[in-house]
Structure 1
Amino acid sequence: MTATVVITRPLAQAEPLAARVRALGRTVEILPLLEISALPDQAPLRAALADLTPYALIAFVSPNAIDAAFAYIAKWPQGLRAAVVGEGSRVALLAHGVPAEAIASPADPAHSDTEHLLQVLDIGALRGARVLIVRGESGRELMADSFRTAGAEVTLLPAYRRGVPQLDAQLAERLARLLDGQNDWLITSSEALRGLAQLAEQLDGPATVAKLQQQHLIVPHARIAETAAALGCHRVTQTASGDEGLLAALQSRP
């Protein structure tokens, strides 16, 4: 029996990938391991986005950051540069009317991460300039640190909140069922993987954690593979970053 492909992205980003996995003839189950919610106080976000003209560059870490920000951006200023790490974010900016020529992203969509974004940006040109990074309440500091090292004045703007879902009866049933089998789990963030481990521990302690450690995880970045190893998960396939890498890994599965 072919393993089910478990997609663990937040719900809004899971379905496009699910459609492509189904097109491969695979059975899919969407199990969001991170919930995205609005910040309870929107005033700081609204105020920060009221005037974008002082900035030389605005970086968005995810489609969630873009959607949250554009609730308060009426029109993208002419000449303002945007930066994103993934193809999904680039498409989201285009949908909000940002010109393609204004968007910087990794040259190869198969390498959609901060490291490859920084390679295509003219970091030196940001010395003395103001840069805004729109992200969740927490996140990696690599982008901000790199801009600061280049001499930019960096502002971090929280735009949404991420959190592990509560283990209610419905989630407990789904998680127990999936961990009882041998499935292919698409894990696209270390935070989601740590959340999965927490949920497994809450479900039935070490016995369920041991089942998680026997699952096949498909991950698009070395950082996530390292998190998996730290959690005792050793059936890990690391792919190129981006959806194409995940799909290629699934196609190579027997």
Structure 2
Amino acid sequence: MTPATPFLITRPAGKADNLLASLDELGVAYSYQPLITTQQVTLKTKDINLLTQADLLIFVSVSAVHALEQQINPEQLPGHLFAVGSTTAGLLQHWTGREVIVPQDQRSEGLLALPQLQQVTDKQVVVVRGNSGRELIKQQLLARGATVKYVQSYKRLPLPLDGSQLWQMWQQQQVRCIVATSNEILQQLFALIPEAGQAWLKQRQWLLVSPRMQEQALALGISPQHITLAENANDGALLQQIIQLKKEMV
């Protein structure tokens, strides 16, 4: 008989290692299935010029840093460094050896509330990110008088998976809670699973990481009582909520 694994972790490969190691250490049963992979995008000359001329550099994810450090030297980034999350900040600090400013509230809204980003008139800002994402940072900083450009250092790609097969396996594993850390992952799950499995998906408990994700989940038909929000997408915040949910499952 397939052992019960009440938690389904869907973080992309490479981003889930610490969380999975902590779950193993605590003896929390889980199934791990990444839905999205990342691929480095080769920087163009204009991208490198933007990076070297920026007054402020904002990194939105760990992947944004990883893909950049494969292609340029940290000395080519003279601008002040910002990261949306503490994991991204730690990686960026380790690579550059410099101070990285990170908000307490590890979302775009938290970043925009930083005092260092209030007076940015005529500043050259570069946001390092993937092939899609929220426009909020750019919109707000443009409104404050900055010049804002994107540098795409990686792209996200859905993995070629058999949704019907996955759904059957997750039922056998008695998955009760799905941990999703981006709207893209949430949407991918509902796109993958066949029509017959949609009701099953909606009946799971969901651990999400932002009010924006909660809105998306509600729009997909998940009821509010099936949604738990972690403080942010960091491993520590996710682990804390998983432990709490595990207690409630007993």
TM-score (norm 2): 0.87
Aligned residue for 2:228, secondary structure, equals: strand
**Is residue 126–residue 148 contact of structure 2 (8 Å, CA) maintained in 1?**
yes
Change (3 A) 1:55 1:19: same
Amino acid at match of 1:71: Q
Structure-1 residue corresponding to 2:35: 33
Question: In terms of mean alpha carbon deviation, does 137-146 or 75-84 score higher?
Answer: 75-84
CA contact (8 A) 1:3 1:184 kept: no
Structure 2 equivalent of residue 229 of structure 1: 218
Match of 1:17 among 16, 19, 34: 19
Task: Structure 2 unaligned segments of length 5 or more: list them.
Answer: none
Give the superposition deviation at 1:163: 2.4
Cα offset for 1:22? 2.1
Match of residue 192, structure 2, among 195, 199, 211:
199
* Structure 1 residues 52 and 135: alpha-carbon distance in aligned structure 2, compared to 1, 3 A threshold: closer
Aligned-residue Cα RMSD (Å) equals 2.1
Residue in structure 1 matched with residue 179 of structure 2 by the alignment: 186
Shifted more, 60-69 versus 90-99: the winner is 90-99
What is the alpha-carbon distance in structure 2 between the residues aligned to residue 36 and residue 71 of structure 1?
A: 14
Residue 140 of structure 1: SS of its match in structure 2?
A: coil
- 1:84 to partner: Cα distance: 0.8
- Alpha-carbon spacing, 1:14–1:79, altered in 2? closer, same or farther (3 Å): same
Q: Distance in 2 between matches of 1:77 and 1:200?
A: 44
Pairing partner for 1:214 from 203, 226, 241? 203
More moved, 8-17 vs 121-130: 121-130
Relative to 1, partners in 2 of residues 1:43 and 1:88: Cα closer, same or farther, differing over 3 Å? closer
Structure 1 gaps of 5+ residues are none
Matches within 5 A, 1:75-154: 75-76=74-75, 80-99=79-98, 101=99, 103-106=100-103, 108=104, 111-154=105-148
Match of 1:239 among 217, 227, 230: 230
Per-residue deviation, 1:126: 1.7
**Relative to 1, partners in 2 of residues 1:221 and 1:133: Cα closer, same or farther, differing over 3 Å?**
same
Write out per-residue CA displacement over residues 103-122 of structure 1, whole angstroms, 9 at most, x where no aligned residue. Answer: 1111x3xx311111122242
- Residues 52 and 77 in structure 2, CA contact (< 8 A), matched pair in contact too: no
Code of the aligned partner of 1:246: L
